[in-house]
């Protein structure tokens, strides 16, 4: 029979295999396989037993929370086996009686945790996460410490369910009002932005004429940096509030909108040739940075300090080159 260290040393293969541990107790080692990203999946080790002809799942081998050591698995198995033999009941009856006894003292949190734990081994991780999300929504509307028996239909369960539905409807209505409120604020911001943009253009032309600086330099460096400040502010606030996806969405979304919608509408309004500098330096430089970003993200799907320093360096080099070309420095 295997001991603890021998179980730890067992290596998964491309086929599921079993090892007998005596008296009907068995260790199962799941097959190991490569996932879509090339990562090794599977290889789980777990204990099973046999009680009155029924195969019994005992738990996963390990030392983490909810997992079993070899000693724990033996104790659990013999406890179930002895109880069923002594009371002359099947494992199904034992399991049902045990759950009924537990449920007498359960609250809503206990029931939800039990449900998620039972389903974790038999459903996909994405489905399990969706169940968890929906059940957490329920817990946001009702006290999780409420005894489970209070949800029985003849003990006020009907009234509690109606109260949850009512509060959920009010929450949805409030969310809609918040959406209208924020949409109104965004509309005001865009209205103000229209006048601000006109002022920026007039001052840019004046600055260009007064100091003899090319308008494309002022547009790409001074106004380009200034126009990025709102996105930069939103991105930083998003990161502070741990809303990473919003931050990245704002940055990448604006860089898709500017060359498509802004340039597209500008071309519809006024047909204007593009300067050679923009065509043969700015555009290729932009595509180069996009390619580098793709390569960096492909490596480990992360963007850390090293990558941040690299991007800032690219911007500094861009500013220095443009300043040199237009005689600013």
DSSP string, 22-64: ETTEEEEE--EEE-TTS-EEE--EEEEEEETTEEEEEEEBSSS
pLDDT-derived band at 304 (thresholds 50, 70, 90) equals: confident
Residue ranges of the domains in the chain? 1-102
Greatest Cα pair distance, the chain, in angstroms, is: 101
- What SS3 class is residue 147? strand
Q: Is 238 left (phi over 0), alpha (psi -120 to 50) or beta?
A: alpha
Of these ranges, 98-102, 127-131, 321-325, the one predicted with the greatest mean pLDDT is 127-131
Residue 173 has pLDDT above 60, yes or no: no
Neighbours of 98 (CB within 10 A): 12
Specify which of 7-21, 160-174, 263-277 reaches the highest per-range mean pLDDT: 7-21
CATH T-level topology, domain 1-102: Double Stranded RNA Binding Domain (3.30.160)
CB 128: neighbour CB atoms within 10 A? 15
CA distance 261 to 248: 19
DSSP 107: B
Top-confidence range, 149-158, 190-199, 320-329: 320-329
Taking CA atoms, 59 is separated from 62, 67, 69, 102, 144, in Å, by 9, 6, 9, 19, 26
Residue 73 burial class via C-beta count within 10 angstroms: exposed 0-12, middle 13-18, buried 19 and up: buried
In the predicted structure, residue 114 carries a pLDDT above the cut 90: no
The beta-carbon contacts of 291-300 under 8 Å, at least 24 apart in sequence, are none
């Amino acid at each position: 029979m295997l001991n603890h260290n021998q179980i730890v040393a067992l290596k998964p293969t491309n086929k599921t295999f079993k090892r007998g541990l005596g008296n009907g107790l068995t260790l199962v080692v799941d097959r190991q396989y490569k996932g879509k990203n090339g990562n090794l999946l599977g290889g789980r080790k777990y204990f099973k037993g046999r009680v009155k002809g029924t195969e019994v799942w005992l738990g996963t081998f390990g030392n983490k929370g909810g997992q079993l050591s070899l000693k724990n698995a033996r104790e659990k198995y013999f406890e179930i086996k002895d109880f069923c033999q002594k009371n002359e009941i099947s494992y199904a009856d034992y399991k049902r009686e045990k759950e009924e006894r537990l449920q007498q003292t359960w609250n809503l949190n206990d029931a939800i945790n039990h449900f998620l734990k039972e389903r974790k081994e038999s459903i996909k991780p994405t489905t399990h996460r969706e169940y968890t999300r929906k059940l957490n929504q329920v817990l946001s509307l009702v006290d999780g410490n409420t005894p489970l028996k209070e949800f029985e239909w003849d003990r006020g369960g009907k009234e509690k369910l109606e109260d949850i539905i009512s509060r959920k409807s009010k929450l949805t209505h409030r969310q809609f009002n918040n959406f209208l409120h924020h949409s109104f604020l965004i509309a005001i911001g865009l209205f103000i932005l229209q006048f601000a943009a006109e002022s920026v253009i007039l001052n840019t032309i004046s600055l260009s004429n007064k100091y003899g600086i090319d308008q494309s330099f002022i547009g790409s460096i001074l106004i380009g940096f200034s126009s990025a400040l709102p996105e930069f502010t939103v991105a930083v606030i998003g990161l502070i509030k741990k809303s990473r996806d919003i931050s990245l969405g704002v940055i990448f979304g604006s860089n898709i909108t500017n060359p498509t919608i802004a340039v597209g509408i500008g071309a519809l309004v006024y047909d204007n040739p593009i300067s050679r500098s923009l065509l043969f330096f700015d555009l290729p430089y932009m595509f180069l940075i996009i390619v580098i970003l793709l390569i960096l993200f492909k490596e480990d799907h992360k963007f850390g300090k090293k990558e941040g320093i690299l991007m800032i360096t690219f911007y500094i080099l861009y500013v220095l080159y443009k300043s040199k070309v237009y005689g600013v420095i």
